[in-house]
Amino acid sequence: MLEIKDLHVSYGAIKAVKGISFEVREGEIVTLIGANGAGKSTTLRTISGLEATAGGTITFMGQNINNMPPHKIVELGISHVPEGRRVFTNLSVIDNLKLGANLRKDKEAVKKDMKKVFELFPILEKRQNQLAGTLSGGEQQMLAVGRALMTKGKLMLLDEPSMGLAPMIVENIFEIIKEINNEGTTILLIEQNAYMALSIADRAYVLETGNIVLEGSASDLAENDEIKKAYLGA
């Protein structure tokens, strides 16, 4: 579904991503794990068109999406849950969700999808008229995921959904990610919390300073000694 070949991204003279290749197949949950500064977020942002590529190709459903403007990429079916949630704090929960559906013309389907989001996150329905800025961190993360769902993407990119959240809420969010995946959305997940990420993913790649150093099925990597030492704290 998504194929990255020899992707390079730089910020000025700093090379953040140095020629990585990986793929995400339809229906999978794939995770990129790695420490701070490994280039995870940059990779995700580049797929969404928020950063320019300095080399390599990104192919989504057979189409080259290198350096396409972000709104075109969303239109093709890639939704992005940005790092640190970035909900629109001065807008209501409903308006946040509607913004996710901004590109869509099918009003009836949008309404249906909003109901679905409320089924996944009942707390959002209760808070629908509240300003997003008044939500707790966990609720904001749910809203960010819900907002991305409203774009009706086939592939969802999730950037550190566990960041700054209590362990119980993290578990809740990951369960919902699994559920979203079961309903047919392919997921590319970026996490520092490698343990949680590997527990729900099918396959995983390990990024270190801009390079992929390991790849394999999530269950294999969870057993890998190096990974255990470096990321799982065992």
- Could you say whether residue 36 binds another protein (CB under 8 A)? no
Q: Are strands 78-81 and 2-11 parallel, antiparallel or unpaired?
A: unpaired
Binds another protein by CB under 8 A, chosen from 50, 61, 163, 232: 50
Of residues 161 and 227, the one with the C-beta less far from another protein: 161
Q: What share of the chain is helix, strand, coil (3-state, %, to 5)?
A: 40, 25, 30
- Could you say whether residue 40 binds another protein (CB under 8 A)? no
Burial (CB < 10 A; 0-12, 13-18, 19+), residue 64, is exposed
Binds another protein by CB under 8 A, chosen from 89, 134, 136, 217: 89
- Could you say whether residue 154 binds another protein (CB under 8 A)? no
How far is the C-alpha of 201 from the C-alpha of 187, rounded, in Å? 9
How far is the C-alpha of 91 from the C-alpha of 94, rounded, in Å? 8
The interface with another protein within residues 161-220 (CB under 8 A) comprises: none
Contact segment (CB under 8 A) with another protein among 9-17, 19-27, 145-153, 163-171 equals 145-153
Of residues 39 and 100, the one with the C-beta less far from another protein: 100
- Report whether 59 contacts 2 (CB < 8 A): yes
Question: CA separation (Å) from 203 to 130, 215, 217?
Answer: 38, 8, 4
Of residues 7 and 78, the one with the C-beta less far from another protein: 78
Min dist. Cβ of residue 78 to another protein (A): 9
How far is the C-alpha of 51 from the C-alpha of 216, rounded, in Å? 27
Of residues 133 and 167, the one with the C-beta less far from another protein: 133
Question: CA separation (Å) from 234 to 150, 168, 218?
Answer: 39, 21, 17
- Could you say whether residue 112 binds another protein (CB under 8 A)? no
Of residues 105 and 233, the one with the C-beta less far from another protein: 105
* Residue with the two structure tokens 């390991």: 214
Binds another protein by CB under 8 A, chosen from 74, 117, 194, 230: 74
- Could you say whether residue 129 binds another protein (CB under 8 A)? yes
**Which candidate, 74, 93, 50, 82, places its Cα nearest to that of 161?**
82
Binds another protein by CB under 8 A, chosen from 147, 161, 205, 231: 147
- Could you say whether residue 98 binds another protein (CB under 8 A)? yes
Residue type for 1, please? M
Contact segment (CB under 8 A) with another protein among 8-16, 95-103, 167-175, 207-215 equals 95-103
- Could you list the residues that contact another protein (CB under 8 A)? 48-50, 69-71, 73-75, 79-80, 82, 86-91, 94-95, 98-100, 102-103, 111, 125, 128-129, 147-148, 151
